[in-house]
Structure 1
């Protein structure tokens, strides 16, 4: 069980964390939506308990476990992970706005 203060701190932490990582990746790779594309893969690594190579050696079991992990997510987990996705999308919007306003390094 997660308390309300923990939930609020987790939401802000994931939002800021993935905004920052997305902003830096978008700036360095000169792309706009890199983190928004990578973030679902990060979520899979966060919630899944099977190893990376299991998807290649035993894909049926691995994807079944992944589906079960998605189904078993609690509301608090979904909210926190959605805040991370919002941070990744906001970083792309910020980079796009900075480019439109003439900041060449972005």
Structure 2
């Protein structure tokens, strides 16, 4: 049976988890907010001169595909993998080069996919 997931709990977990240092790279979170059905992160990465943005679809229940993909036991575990590990892995494997991008509100929004 599907259990509801509190998106504000994910937001609180993300604000803590994203403070952890990244080995070999510099990640500085500028803001994290829930906007619609997404968690929006605005951040600085290494020496990139532009603020970057990244959106993660938020699950609303434990049956949501975004939750089931990771099969976590806790909101913190989901946030660690679905948000932190995924963002860092995407950045370290060249999201700035291979990802889709568009400028919005002074932020360069990145998303996986071919440009």
Higher helix share: 1
TM-score of the pair, normalised by structure 2: 0.28
TM-score of the pair, normalised by structure 1: 0.29
Looking at CA atoms only, which structure, 1 or 2, has the larger radius of gyration?
1
Higher strand share: 2
